């Protein structure tokens, strides 16, 4: 099947009590690892591309890699999404350039400016058959080149969501309930806890509307240890507990963004490989196990966290 939008995926996910995995892609091995796992587990998937990914790999290369995955996996629905679109021009370039979904991230703007920018993107996207994700509330951590300090992160205000969705016409809404980007989400020694009360309030005000969670990596300690054992230094890297993500996936949350976990799997595997084989220098030899470990990690997410295995 050709690339799809997220419309149908979200409808089924909402009704079925599961979430779709949105995984960031930057190169061929990552695209292959994700889509092979999804194909084997019969899971719909969102492949997402950030501004940084477009700068690194080039828009055309990424679109062509995703088109190759679509050809190799005709039996599963795949959406191509712009992650954290920073402005109208970037969203337009992706809408014109083959994406089926874009995010316009106006979350750091004053409310009225976020509404105006998001509405402008929605009008253009909808006229071209593309769906739009907006965001209310800000997450701590690093979003592309924008670093949001812990103190400036703010939870989504449920009293704003109806007005925002109605006035902008967005198809899904990313909210801030305590997740954050990167590998250091919670302070060591504190209990990681998402604000399910905010999610519940939002859901009451937007019944049936798809909610998105960013910053949802769980930072597998297996890979943090692998990195630290083989020359890396990532003390105190902590993610969102998987049982809390599973709980979110059962609710109105239809899209869960995972990037850092894949990076950790790739980096850990490659560090270990080099440590154990200091004489090797063929990139295929170290990218192969890295790709295999990302694939198994994605499989675990589909089956045990998102609940979307078998839903394609």
Catalytic hit among 83, 105, 171, 259: 83
Part in contact with Zn ion (CB under 5 A); list of ranges 17-25, 90-98, 213-221, 246-254: 213-221
Q: How far is the CB of 185 from ligand 13P (least distance, A)?
A: 7
| Beta bridge mates, 172 | 133
Closest to ligand 13P by CB, 84 or 311:
84
Mask of contacts with ligand G3H, 250-289, x by CB under 6 A? ---------x------------------------------
Mask of contacts with ligand G3H, 135-154, x by CB under 6 A? --------xx----------
Per rule CB under 6 A, is residue 101 in the interface with ligand 13P?
no
Q: How far is the CB of 257 from ligand 13P (least distance, A)?
A: 3
- Whether 150 sits among the annotated catalytic residues: the reply is no
Per rule CB under 5 A, is residue 214 in the interface with Zn ion?
yes
Q: How far is the CB of 228 from ligand 13P (least distance, A)?
A: 19
Map the footprint of ligand 13P across residues 172-191, applying CB under 6 A: 181-182
Q: Pairing state of beta strands 141-143 and 146-148? A: antiparallel
Per rule CB under 6 A, is residue 181 in the interface with ligand G3H?
yes
d(Cα 216, Cα 240) in Å, to the nearest integer? 6
Sole binder of ligand 13P in the list 211, 245, 258, 297 (CB under 6 A): 258
DSSP 80-117: EEEEEE-SHHHHHHHHHTT-SEEEE--TTS-HHHHHHH
d(Cα 169, Cα 121) in Å, to the nearest integer? 10
Part in contact with ligand G3H (CB under 6 A); list of ranges 49-57, 90-98, 239-247, 279-287: 49-57
Per rule CB under 5 A, is residue 185 in the interface with Zn ion?
no
| Beta bridge mates, 102 | 82, 132
d(Cα 219, Cα 162) in Å, to the nearest integer? 33
Q: Which residues are catalytic?
A: 83
Interface contacts to Zn ion, rule CB under 5 A: 214
């Amino acid at each position: 099947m050709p690339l799809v939008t997220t419309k149908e995926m979200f409808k089924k996910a909402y009704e079925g009590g599961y979430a779709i995995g949105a995984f960031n892609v930057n190169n061929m091995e990552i695209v292959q690892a994700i889509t092979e796992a999804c194909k084997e587990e019969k899971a719909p998937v969102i492949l997402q591309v950030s501004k940084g990914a477009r700068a690194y790999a080039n828009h055309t290369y990424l679109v062509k890699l995703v088109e190759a995955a679509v050809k190799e996996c005709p039996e599963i629905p795949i959406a191509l999404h712009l992650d954290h679109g920073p402005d109208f021009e970037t969203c337009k370039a992706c809408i014109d350039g083959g994406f089926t979904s874009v995010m316009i991230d106006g979350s750091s703007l004053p409310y009225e400016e976020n509404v105006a920018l998001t509405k402008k993107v929605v009008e253009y996207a909808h006229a071209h058959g593309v769906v739009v994700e907006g965001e209310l509330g800000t997450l701590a951590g690093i979003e592309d080149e924008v670093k949001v300090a812990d103190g400036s992160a703010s939870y989504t205000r449920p009293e704003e969501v109806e007005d925002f969705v109605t006035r902008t016409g967005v198809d899904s809404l990313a909210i801030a309930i305590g997740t954050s980007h990167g590998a250091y989400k919670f302070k060591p020694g504190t209990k990681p806890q998402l604000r399910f009360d905010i999610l519940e309030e939002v859901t009451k005000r937007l019944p049936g509307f798809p909610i998105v969670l960013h910053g949802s990596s769980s930072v597998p300690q297996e890979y943090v240890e692998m990195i630290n054992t083989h020359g890396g230094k990532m003390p105190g890297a902590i993610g969102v507990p998987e049982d809390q993500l599973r709980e979110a996936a059962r609710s109105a949350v239809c899209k869960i963004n995972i990037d850092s976990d894949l990076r950790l799997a790739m980096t850990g595997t490659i560090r270990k490989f080099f440590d154990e084989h200091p004489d090797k220098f063929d990139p295929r030899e170290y990218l192969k196990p890295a790709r295999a470990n990302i694939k198994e990690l994605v499989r675990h997410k589909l089956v045990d966290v998102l609940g979307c295995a078998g839903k394609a």
